[in-house]
């Protein structure tokens, strides 16, 4: 079974980190998010993954140089220009000749969903498309559905205004499609799966949804990307646990690292404190600095105090500076 994975977005909400590294290539516990996703798809019966690429294809091509990850074949479909979500799905599926039931996944979703169970539900419904759904407190930042008792989606509304959501069940970013969905996607132009395709299939009565209470988050926001990492330290995840401090990092014995991840080759100096944070590969936290609830790719200078902030690879917090709720470099 094929899966198309959408990885062509620019990751605007993590822009300090995604300047060099596209969002799905950012590490979650030392390994690119996309690897976790490919492994989960494989566990659900996927044999071939097509990466729908636009923005910065090279890092993906380098990550899977022989076109495989484990037993899964990895294919690349590089859009000539961003085609939006459905345009990208159509482009990628046609590029590899998909002609049977296939899976689609947003590249920034971390979940314990059983993909095989979603495919089985899709076959039971005999639907044209089946969406994984999750109940959330504030659905307005997502695609929201109105679901009937039989699992049929009566309406799909992308990012409704707060207060106008039809329910609290949101599109969790994993779908099972029949090839017929491709007929709804004209080639060569921007088409949105959420704004154009799903409302159309729902209107034809052929869109179904399955809601689960699996671990799920969209790692596209700084606080949630941090959570995607730190949740793997506790017992909230079923899969994928591993060591928080990379063996290639240098952590001074006279420093404190608590509930945090220290990435490959990162350096933590004497007397530094790193709490509830993610240090990405090559990050530097100099002596005496304090980093709390933050994401660091660049350098935090001596005795600096960084809280609730995001430091890009070209970000440098000068010695002794206090940065609360900010970014380095500053957001334009």
* Nearer to Mg ion among residue 9 and residue 90 (C-beta): 9
Under the binding rule (CB under 6 A), the answer on residue 176 touching ligand GDD is no
CA dihedral 24, 315, 310, 36 (to 10 degrees): 20
What span, in angstroms and rounded, lies between the C-alpha atoms of 152 and 129? 10
Q: Which residue is nearest to ligand GDD (CB)?
A: 8
Listing DSSP states for 238-287 in one string gives SS----SB-TTSEE-TTSEEES-EE-TT-EE-TT-EEES-EEPTT-EE-T
User: Does residue 241 contact residue 37 with C-beta atoms inside 8 Å?
Assistant: no
Q: Is 82 in the site for ligand GDD (CB under 6 A)?
A: yes
β pairing state of 68-69 and 72-78: antiparallel
Site for ligand GDD in 214-243 (CB under 6 A): 218, 220
- The verdict on 326 binding ligand GDD (CB under 6 A) reads no
- Alpha-carbon gap, residue 183 to 266, rounded angstroms: 48
- Catalytic annotation on 23? no
Shortest Å, Cβ 108 to Mg ion: 4
Helix (H) or strand (E) holding 218, with range, is strand 216-218
Q: Are strands 216-218 and 27-28 parallel, antiparallel or unpaired?
A: unpaired
Closer residue to Mg ion (CB): 171 or 290: 171
Stretch that binds Mg ion, among 148-156, 188-196, 213-221, 243-251 (CB under 5 A): 213-221
8 lies in the binding site for Mg ion (CB under 5 A): no
The label of the residue with tokens 């290539």 reads 25
Q: Which stretch binds Mg ion (CB under 5 A): 59-67, 216-224, 231-239, 266-274?
A: 216-224
The partner in contact with residue 84, picked from ligand GDD, Mg ion, none with C-beta cut-offs of 5 to 8 angstroms by kind, is ligand GDD
Residue 108 in contact with ligand GDD, rule: CB under 6 A:
yes
Q: Would you count residue 108 as binding Mg ion (CB under 5 A)? A: yes
Q: Beta partners for 76?
A: 51
Instruction: Tell the burial category of 193 from Cβ atoms under 10 Å away from its Cβ (0-12, 13-18, 19+).
Output: buried
CB of 213 to ligand GDD, least distance (A): 16
Binding-residue total with ligand GDD (CB under 6 A): 27
Q: Which of 2, 3, 4, 9 binds ligand GDD (CB under 6 A)?
A: 9
Q: Whole-number minimum distance, CB 94 to ligand GDD, in Å? A: 13
231 binds, among ligand GDD, Mg ion, none (CB under 5 to 8 A by kind): none
- DSSP, residue by residue, 108-123: TEEE---HHHHHHHHH
Query: Which residues here bind ligand GDD, judged by CB under 6 A?
Result: 6-9, 52-54, 79, 82-85, 88, 106-109, 142-143, 158, 170-173, 194, 218, 220
């Amino acid at each position: 079974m094929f899966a198309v994975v959408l990885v062509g977005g620019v990751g605007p909400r993590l822009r300090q980190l995604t300047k060099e590294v596209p969002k799905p290539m950012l590490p979650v516990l030392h390994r690119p998010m996309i690897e976790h996703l490919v492994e989960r798809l494989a566990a659900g019966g996927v044999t071939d993954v097509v990466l729908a690429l636009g923005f910065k294809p090279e890092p993906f091509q380098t990550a899977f140089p022989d076109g495989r990850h484990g037993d899964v074949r990895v294919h690349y479909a590089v859009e000539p220009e961003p085609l939006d979500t459905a345009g990208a799905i159509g482009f990628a599926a046609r590029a590899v000749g998909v002609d049977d039931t296939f899976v689609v996944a947003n590249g920034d979703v971390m979940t314990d969903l059983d993909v095989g169970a979603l495919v089985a539900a899709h076959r039971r419904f005999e639907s044209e498309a089946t969406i994984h759904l999750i109940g959330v407190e504030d659905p307005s930042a997502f695609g929201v559905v109105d679901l009937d008792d039989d699992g049929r989606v009566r309406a799909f509304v992308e990012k409704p205004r707060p207060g106008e959501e039809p329910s609290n069940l949101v599109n969790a970013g994993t779908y099972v499609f029949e090839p017929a969905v491709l007929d709804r996607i004209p080639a060569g132009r921007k088409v949105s799966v959420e704004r154009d395709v799903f409302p159309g299939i729902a209107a034809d009565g052929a869109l179904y949804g399955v809601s689960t209470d699996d671990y799920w988050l969209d790692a596209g926001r700084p606080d949630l990307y941090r959570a995607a990492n730190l949740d793997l330290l506790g017992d909230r995840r079923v899969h994928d646990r591993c060591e928080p401090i990379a063996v290639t990092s240098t952590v001074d014995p006279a420093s404190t690292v608590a509930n945090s991840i220290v990435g490959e080759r990162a350096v933590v100096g004497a007397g530094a404190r790193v709490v509830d944070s993610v240090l990405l590969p090559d990050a530097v936290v100099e002596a005496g600095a304090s980093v709390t609830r933050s994401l660091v790719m660049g350098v935090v200078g001596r005795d600096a105090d960084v809280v609730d902030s995001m430091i890009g690879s070209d970000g440098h917090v000068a010695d002794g500076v206090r940065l609360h709720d900010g970014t380095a470099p500053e957001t334009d």
